[in-house]
Chains A and B, each alone.
Chain A
């Protein structure tokens, strides 16, 4: 027995709090409670009635500890996607939907919270998940370095032009500069500043790297039927897929040769589109998790929006910005220019843009692809849609 989950659950509420790293006004759990209550208020739903919680990326906030603040009556479901990176962000919605569609929970909050004073630096936490003597003995201590080696292969061997990173970064900053919630709000993108920014690990400059913020995000998922009775237009979960394939993952850089420079999404692409009955051409807007600019590009290739051969035709600034571009990407600024709370802003903006609440609206957008954390050993993506 199996059911197609497409369209049966929907995001009904969104909450998001973001602060400059090290400046959150509350400890992590306090910020998270704020975000969850905000999501419930957005939906017109009593926080006490949330009965399920799902997270990803080794989040440290065990749902049971949220109960006194939320007034939670009962937890009927709690789970987390495996993996230390952002690879699980979209998969978290799949877990939540599975609980709702099997009657195990009724209203599930997908969340992620990260405040440095409580959980330390994200990059260090992600790396602690993967470090071994092989890597540290080779001077590899940070996600940027691992992603840099994969990016180098994509650029040098597969011929993807390095200059395309700037197109993606510039589009993110354009959107972020027009978003009052974004770190880049009011800031113009400066080509010279980008090029002159210090090198982290070649080929990455500082501006190619997402920089961590403190904050928390929460999205309330319920059945589409229930969502219709709540305050906001339901944003339906049309598809979600998570996983990986043989020859990709934590393999001491011994991934299959063709998979090595990818972001890992070839493993789920067919399932993702198949569940929704859609193709890349049907996607109106993309919220793209970009820990690093090159991995964002690799993710667009993996998801079928372009190939190594024609990537320069698609990853162009003009093509990536709303409302005029054919493939608007990261309409709030994304991880690079909106803010980086372990990628959660991409999920938040996926919902907002389909409601018409984006700071950079995409008129008439009906489908949004949420591309999860690229380059993680286990990855996931989702497609959201509105009628």
Chain B
């Protein structure tokens, strides 16, 4: 694992950050029972297995929920206000991922299809790899 966290200790998701930095979305699946885990785990609570495989995924899904932030909360300087943060249910696997919406916001609603790209969010001195969503 090479990724250095900007906020605090990283759990079992080191591989996620390394892959994201290299331009890929990878998510973990238990090799014992096939369950997808997010947040990532060391031990599968379903079958007790310790082994996971990280599988590359397409960055697309639909809006599960969202908020449009107007208040200039400290730490959100990277985004012009207001900006929308989406929780997106991925199309291919039963996992939700969070990211900021880019581009035209017309049609933003729960259930709207989105596609994603990997960008960087400036946070203090850090450049955190991050998802950016666009309404499809």
Query: Which A residues lie at the B interface, using CB under 8 A?
Result: 124, 131-142, 144-145, 148-150, 152-153, 156-157, 198-203, 250-254, 260-261
Contacts of A253 in B (CB 8 A): 64-65, 87, 96, 98
- Shortest distance between the CB of B74 and any CB in chain A (Å): 7
Pairwise interchain contact B130-A138, C-beta atoms closer than 8 A: yes
Once bound together, how far apart are the Cα atoms of A131 and B5, in whole Å? 11
B74 with A252: CB separation less than 8 A: no
Chain B residues with Cβ under 8 A from A157's Cβ?
Answer: 65, 110
Q: Which residue of B lies closest to A199 (CB)?
A: B70
Cβ of A244 to closest chain B Cβ, rounded Å: 14
Q: Which of A124, A138, A156 contacts B99 (CB 8 A)?
A: A138
Tell me the minimal C-beta distance from A205 to chain B in angstroms. Answer: 10
A150 pairs with B65, CB closer than 8 A: yes
Q: Closest residue of chain A to B11, judged by CB?
A: A132
A149 touches B5 (CB 8 A): no
**Nearest chain B CB to A75 CB, angstrom units:** 32
B57 touches A (CB below 8 Å): no
Q: How far is the CB of A121 from chain B (nearest CB, A)?
A: 9
Taken together as a complex, chains A and B put the C-alpha atoms of A251 and B64 apart, in Å, by 15
**Chain B residues, Cβ within 8 Å of A202:** 67-70, 82
Across-interface contacts of A132 in B (CB, < 8 A): 5, 7-8
Seen from chain B, the residues whose Cβ lies within 8 Å of a Cβ on chain A are 5-8, 10, 17, 38-39, 64-71, 73-76, 78-79, 82-83, 85, 87, 95-100, 109-110, 121, 123, 128-131
Q: Among A140, A198, A253, A260, which residue has the most Cβ atoms of chain B within 10 A?
A: A253
Residues of chain A within 8 A of B67, CB atoms compared: 145, 148-149, 152, 201-203
A200 touches B68 (CB 8 A): no
The answer to whether A139 and B79 touch (CB under 8 A), given A132-B7, A133-B6, A253-B87, is yes
Distance (Å) between the CB of A199 and the closest chain B CB?
4
For the A-B complex, the count of residue pairs with Cβ-Cβ distances under 8 Å equals: 115
Measured CA separation A45–B97 after assembly (Å)? 54
A29 to chain B minimum Cβ distance, whole angstroms, is: 27
| A331, B99: Cα distance in complex, Å | 40
- Complex Cα distance, B87 from A250, in Å, reads 14
In the complex where A153-B110, A252-B98, A254-B95 touch, is A137 in contact with B69 (Cβ < 8 A)?
A: no
Closest approach, in angstroms, between the C-beta of B94 and any C-beta of chain A? 9
Shortest Cβ distance from B120 into A: residue: A137
B8 touches A254 (CB 8 A): no
Interface pair A139/B100, CB less than 8 Å apart: yes
A145 and B123 contact, CB distance less than 8 A: no
A123 smallest CB distance to B (angstroms): 9
Knowing A141-B73, A199-B70, the reply to whether A156 touches B123 (Cβ < 8 A) is no
Known: A157-B65, A202-B68. 15 other contacts (CB 8 A): A133-B5, A133-B7, A136-B75, A137-B123, A137-B129, A139-B100, A145-B85, A153-B64, A199-B71, A200-B70, A201-B70, A202-B70, A253-B65, A253-B98, A261-B65
B2 → chain A closest CB, angstroms: 14
Inside 8 A of A198's CB, which chain B residues have their CB?
Answer: 70-71
Instruction: Name the distance in Å between B72's Cβ and chain A's nearest Cβ.
Output: 10
Smallest beta-carbon distance A35→chain B, Å: 30
What CA separation (Å) do A140 and B65 show in the bound complex? 14
Contact between B7 and A139 (Cβ–Cβ < 8 Å)?
A: no
Q: Judging by beta carbons under 8 Å apart, are A201 and B130 in contact? A: no
Write 6 A-B pairs (CB below 8 A) sorted by A numbering: A132-B8, A133-B128, A138-B85, A149-B67, A200-B70, A201-B68
Select from chain A the residue with minimum beta-carbon distance to B122. A137
Chain B nearest CB from A125 CB (Å) reads 13
The residue of chain B having its C-beta at the shortest distance from the C-beta of A203 within the complex is: B67
Q: Considering the chains assembled together, what is the distance between the CA atoms of A200 and B72 in angstroms?
A: 9
Contact A254 B75 (CB under 8 A): no
Contacts of B74 in A (CB 8 A): 124, 141
Is A152 a contact partner of B128 (Cβ separation < 8 A)? Answer: no
Inter-subunit contact B69/A201 (CB<8 Å): yes
